[in-house]
Amino acid sequence: MSRIALFGGSFNPIHNGHLHLAQTVHQQCGLDRMLLMPSGTAPHKSSDAYAPAADRLAMCRLAAEPYPWLEVSDYELTKPGKSYTVETLRYLHSRFPEDALFLLTGSDMLLSFDSWYCWQEILTLAGLLCVSRGTEPEDVLRQKAAELSSYGQVTVVHAKPLPMSSSQIRHKIELCRKFSCYLPENVVQYIMLHGLYGVCNGESIV
């Protein structure tokens, strides 16, 4: 039986913070594989904020190249309509029926998890790996984890955050400020080559 975690997100673009988090969880939780899954049309987000799906997928594949345990899935990008976590986990459960599935979430999402669509079913399909970045009180997280544990496995994972976000990186790119230190080199090259996020031409902004 393999231990497989789903790491979903818009990855718009994928950056070093995402990869640091993936490595930390992979090591701390003894995972065999991690599925990096760029989101399609999320129920709670506007699709106008997204780079083209093909570009986000390509950047994820480039970023994952150095990590043999990190696999990129296009399932949500190719699935029509809105993407709900429970539907993705149903698909993964059918694909990996003999393996243990886990869902990577942030600590902020843990606190509101019982408002998710079909949240109880989610916990029957996958254990939660809740990443604490130190922004929520530890006792509050553990209490919430204990409340949810009667429905399934909930683990709080501690990870030192890297001070970056995709929205901040996009903003830097739009303002023609240096951004290469936040991204894998091959992702930077892809953004420059394809002119994503209104990137300026010229080496000074890299």
CATH superfamily for 3-162 is HUPs (3.40.50.620)
Q: What are the pLDDT digits (tens) for 125-164?
A: 999 999 987 778 889 999 999 999 999 999 999 888 788 8
* Residue 203, pLDDT score: 47
Nearest to 15 by CA among 202, 141, 165: 165
Location of structure tokens 């409340």: 147
Contact 22, 62 (CB under 8 A): no
Query: What residues does each domain of the chain span?
Result: 3-162
Question: What pTM, to 2 d.p., does this model score?
Answer: 0.91
pLDDT band at 46 (very low <50, low <70, confident <90, very high): very low
